[in-house]
Structure 1
């Protein structure tokens, strides 16, 4: 099909991008030989420009669609011609950065009331796309006000960024996995957008099982006695791998889940096990903990929980010391956390209450320039 326009322009904050934005860009892509999407973010906004740019590039991989990021800290005043000119200068700068020189624009696609004036300033035709928001009743403002309510209109990458991530941590045989699974199931049972609530299992356990299986295969091939868990030797790089893959599992789950993701362990936990086995702190693993975007930690106390040896645990003599280390680290790092005790039902009730409080507080976005 012959394109109606040579070069279409879409401009927005995409704070964050939603289904309406994607419909706008796809419409332009269908009607233009070339499309440039200018992501104009101000420096006061709390979602990084790099994130928005990456999300749009993932959602719109068409070769004739170019995503052009730019910082636009000009105030908003649609009645001031000088401010209009300043914005257009920023947009032309973004186009010049993308192409080496500002290309000729012959169509501006927009769902906003300012679209016709923007098109006039580019000497281009204006193409309005669902200005009444009937096809996709969503806006950036609505998403920021209540991401949970707007969840169906968000792409996987945006969901992964916005999902509230709750980590269940604790010493061995303290019920972390039981609680993580039950907590996710409790919220999933609420239905609606929450039906997709997921929990992320502990990758370290999988890694340990694979490591032991590999050691046993090697021993069998060489005629040596079969090794056991205590015979395994660890190096620092393995803990880095465990933390990296745990976060990868987590990010993958967050892309397809609800506004809540429950995680059975995290990089902080991995750093404590590094300390336990190697006697030192792993800077690499702690950096991953500091970069991760977790919102709440639930510490499962060992008090009142009988120790169960499943063949993969260090033993009763270790877990009380590890329990104290968890409590100390959470407090010293001033991480938002609760300690749950009592029966499994009591622990679940306390965890649900803490998560409901987290979700009830809502999401925090800085206000865009106005």
Structure 2
């Protein structure tokens, strides 16, 4: 029999980390059912919906319910009127009676009193998991080991390598992943995402050869919907790699590139592929120049005559959309050095978390 009937854990979870999950699991072990209330303000840069989704994924157990609420009231635990305003939001989100409130914060006693519930403090010194939301926002790389898979996927810096055929995009994406893995530590898990369109093209050509062994790749026919499928799958393939990887993920092409490949093969734009590209969350594009790179026909390429046009279209599209990008030129070693310099600059720039609402009264609100 559980010690408590209905427990409550609340906080900003900005972003969720191992300390939060320890608190939730500790509370759930003592309650018949537990509500986790995620409170976010409109000024914070991680949407409430993302935080709720992340917490639900990490805590799918029966008996745990994760709900969200917008709380734009600054924190001041010395002001009863401010407490009353916060409590109105908390009770609207959690209307059922609560008989235990679990926190890792000094204000837990007052929060429990206002809910008419038993206050339970869990690891207030944070000895089990020495981390806080403030620490994660200040240094995501240093706190990476405390982040669960969905949070890592949401925070990873995603770098895309794009370019015309036979300009070294795959070689570059693989080399970058190897370079960062060699740094060790948190970087040892760095991954790269292969180009799905390549595998799809190979499968199409294989089917054609089974019917006509003498067929060449330029005889493969395409439909517009296939580019939609390729773009969707390319985007989907990123998340498993980001969830298990380091703070940076390298992608060999992306749905934005698929919009240009559609234009190249079909002669028109595709609004659906454009829509898929708009959903992507990428931070830097590395464009491999065709100049000085010999064309190598591996049986699945037919674009030597359009490589310069493709390079131009990539630059035009990236520039027109005001997306951060650099052109990689020269031999591979030079290109890799340029790429690493750009990626390191991206990582130094940081994650740009907006500050939470001001806190007064001498005690921090749950991160």
**Same-fold call, TM > 0.5?**
yes
Are residue 310 (structure 1) and residue 309 (structure 2) matched?
no
- Runs of 4+ displaced beyond 3 Å: 224-227
Q: Which runs of 5+ in 2 are unaligned?
A: 359-367
Normalising by structure 1, what TM-score? 0.95
Match of 2:362 in 1: none
Aligned counterpart, 1:8: 7
SS of 1:7's partner is: strand
Residue 5 of structure 1 contacts residue 31 of structure 1 at CA under 8 Å; is this kept in 2?
Answer: yes
- The whole-number CA distance in structure 1 between the counterparts of 2:349 and 2:6 is 44
- Equivalence for 2:198: 205
Q: Aligned Cα RMSD in Å?
A: 1.0
Contact 1:14–1:52 (CA<8 Å) still a contact in 2? yes
Distance in 2 (CA, whole Å) between partners of 1:176 and 1:346 is 14
Counterpart-to-counterpart distance in 2, 1:24 and 1:311:
56
Q: Which residue of 2 aligns with 1:175?
A: 168
Match of 1:145 among 138, 141, 152: 138
Residue of structure 2 in register with 1:75 after alignment: 74
Listed one character per residue, the Cα deviations across residues 67-89 of structure 1 (whole Å, up to 9, x for unaligned) are 11111111111100010011011
1:136 aligned onto 2:124? no
The one-character-per-residue Cα deviations of 1:230-264 (angstroms, maximum 9, x if unpaired) are 12211111101101111111111000000000000
1:368 aligns with 2:353: no
The count of aligned residue pairs is 358
Equivalence for 1:321 = 309
- Give 3-state SS (helix, strand or coil) of 1:26's partner: helix
Instruction: Give deviations 1:87-145, integer Å, cap 9, x for gaps.
Output: 011000001xxxxxx21111000001111110010111111000000100000111111
Partners in 2 of 1:284 and 1:369 — Cα distance? 39
Q: Distance in 2 between matches of 1:215 and 1:314?
A: 16
1:315, distance to aligned residue in structure 2 (A): 3.4
Instruction: Map 1:1-370 onto structure 2 (within 5 A).
Output: 2-95=1-94, 102-217=95-210, 219=211, 226-370=214-358
Measure the CA separation in 1 of the matches of 2:89 and 2:2: 27
- Structure 2 Cα separation of the partners of residues 232 and 339 of structure 1: 31
Residue 215 of structure 1, CA deviation = 3.1
Identify the residue that residue 99 of structure 1 maps to in structure 2: none
SS of residue in 1 equivalent to 2:291: coil
Structure 1 residues 284-322: Cα deviation after superposition (integer angstroms, max 9, x where no partner): 111222221100000110111111111111132121111
| Aligned-partner Cα distance in 2 for 1:144–1:180 | 28
User: How many Å apart are 1:227 and its aligned residue?
Assistant: 3.4
Cα distance in 2 for residues equivalent to 1:65 and 1:332: 46
- Quote how far apart the aligned CAs of 1:226 are: 4.9
TM-score with structure 2 setting the length: 0.96
State the alpha-carbon separation in 2 of the partners of residues 357 and 13 from structure 1: 30
Q: Which has the higher contact order (CA 8 A, sep 6+)?
A: 2
Structure 2 Cα separation of the partners of residues 315 and 26 of structure 1: 56
Residue equivalent to 1:98 = none
Please tell me whether the aligned partners of residues 196 and 258 of structure 1 are also in contact (alpha carbons under 8 angstroms). yes
1:225 positional shift: 6.0
Are 1:309 and 1:315, in contact at CA under 8 Å, matched by a contact in 2? Answer: no
